[in-house]
Structure 1
Amino acid sequence: MAKKVSGTEPMTFSGFKSVTKSQLIWRQLKRHQLGIIGGIILILLYGFAFFAEFIGPYSSDLQVRGKAFHPPTRLHFFDEDHNFSLQPFVYNYKLVDRVFKVYRPDPTVKYPLRFFVRGEKYKFLGLIPSHIHLFGTEGPGHIFLLGTDKFGRDVFTRLLFGARISLSVGLVGILISFSIGALIGGIAGYYGGVVDNVLMRVAEMIMAFPGFYLLLALRALLPTALPSTTVYLLIVFILSFIGWPGFARVIRGMFLSLREQEFSLAAKALGSTDLRIILRHILPNTMSFVIVAATLSVPGYILGESALSFLGLGIQEPQASWGNMLAAAMNTRVLVSFPWILLPGFLIFITILAFNFLGDALRDALEPRMRTSRRTFTG
Structure 2
Amino acid sequence: MSPDSRRDEKPEHYVNPKGFDPQDVETLTKEQERYYQAAQWKIIWWKFRKHKLAVVSVVVLFFFYLCVPFAEIIAPYPVAKRNVDFLYAPPQSIHLFHEGRLVGPFVYGITPSVDLENLRWVYETDRTDVQKLRFFCEGEPYQFWGLFPASFHIICPAEEGTLFIAGTDRLGRDQYSGLVYGARLSLTIGLVGVTISMVLGVLLGGMAGFFGGWIDSSVQRVIEVMRSLPELPLWMALSAALPITWSPVWIYFGLTVILGLLDWPGLARAVRSKLLSLREEEYAKAATLMGAKPSRVIVKHLLPGFTSHLVASATLSVPAMILGETALSFLNLGLRRPAVSWGVLLNEAQNIAVVTIYPWLMAPVIPIIVVVLAFNFMGDGLRDAADPYK
Q: Give TM-score, length-normalised by structure 1.
A: 0.90
Q: Alpha-carbon deviation of 1:67?
A: 0.7
Aligned match of 1:37 in 49, 56, 60?
56
* Equivalent-residue separation in structure 1 for 2:170 and 2:339 (angstroms): 15
Alignment of 1:126-275 (within 5 A): 126-127=146-147, 129-275=149-295
Gaps of 5+ in 2: 1-6, 9-20
Code of the residue aligned with 1:168 in structure 2: it is T
Aligned-residue CA RMSD (Å): 2.1
8 Å contact from structure 2 (residues 68, 181) kept in 1: yes
Report SS of the residue matched to 1:51: helix
Residue number in structure 2 paired with 1:113: 133
Cα offsets for 1:293-343 (capped at 9, x unmatched) = 101111110111001000001110232111121122222222222221111
* Equivalent-residue separation in structure 2 for 1:52 and 1:221 (angstroms): 31
Q: Alpha-carbon deviation of 1:195?
A: 1.9
Code of the residue aligned with 2:125 in structure 1: it is P
Cα offsets for 1:243-301 (capped at 9, x unmatched) = 11221122112122211110100111122222211111011112111111101111110
Residue number in structure 2 paired with 1:51: 70
Q: Which moves more between the two structures, 98-107 or 113-122? A: 98-107
* Equivalent-residue separation in structure 2 for 1:247 and 1:157 (angstroms): 36
Alignment of 1:67-106 (within 5 A): 67-79=86-98, 82=99, 84-98=101-115, 99-106=119-126
Q: Alpha-carbon deviation of 1:11?
A: 7.3
Code of the residue aligned with 2:353 in structure 1: it is R
* Equivalent-residue separation in structure 1 for 2:228 and 2:60 (angstroms): 35
Report SS of the residue matched to 1:178: helix
Code of the residue aligned with 1:56 in structure 2: it is A
Quickly say closer, same or farther: Cα 1:193–1:15, change in 2 above 3 A.
Answer: closer
Report SS of the residue matched to 2:201: helix
Residue number in structure 2 paired with 1:376: none
Report SS of the residue matched to 2:252: helix
Gaps of 5+ in 1: 372-379
Residue number in structure 2 paired with 1:288: 308
Cα offsets for 1:118-176 (capped at 9, x unmatched) = 12223333345421000112422111111111111111110011111111111110011
* Equivalent-residue separation in structure 2 for 1:22 and 1:254 (angstroms): 19
* Equivalent-residue separation in structure 1 for 2:96 and 2:191 (angstroms): 41
8 Å contact from structure 2 (residues 132, 157) kept in 1: yes
Structure number with larger C-alpha Rg: 2
* Equivalent-residue separation in structure 1 for 2:388 and 2:292 (angstroms): 31
Code of the residue aligned with 2:284 in structure 1: it is S
Quickly say closer, same or farther: Cα 1:343–1:283, change in 2 above 3 A.
Answer: same
8 Å contact from structure 1 (residues 91, 110) kept in 2: yes
* Equivalent-residue separation in structure 2 for 1:251 and 1:15 (angstroms): 37
* Equivalent-residue separation in structure 1 for 2:273 and 2:29 (angstroms): 44
* Equivalent-residue separation in structure 1 for 2:112 and 2:143 (angstroms): 33
Count residues with an aligned counterpart: 364
Q: Alpha-carbon deviation of 1:30?
A: 2.1
Code of the residue aligned with 1:33 in structure 2: it is K
8 Å contact from structure 1 (residues 61, 319) kept in 2: no
8 Å contact from structure 2 (residues 248, 338) kept in 1: no
Residue number in structure 2 paired with 1:27: 46
Q: Alpha-carbon deviation of 1:90?
A: 2.2
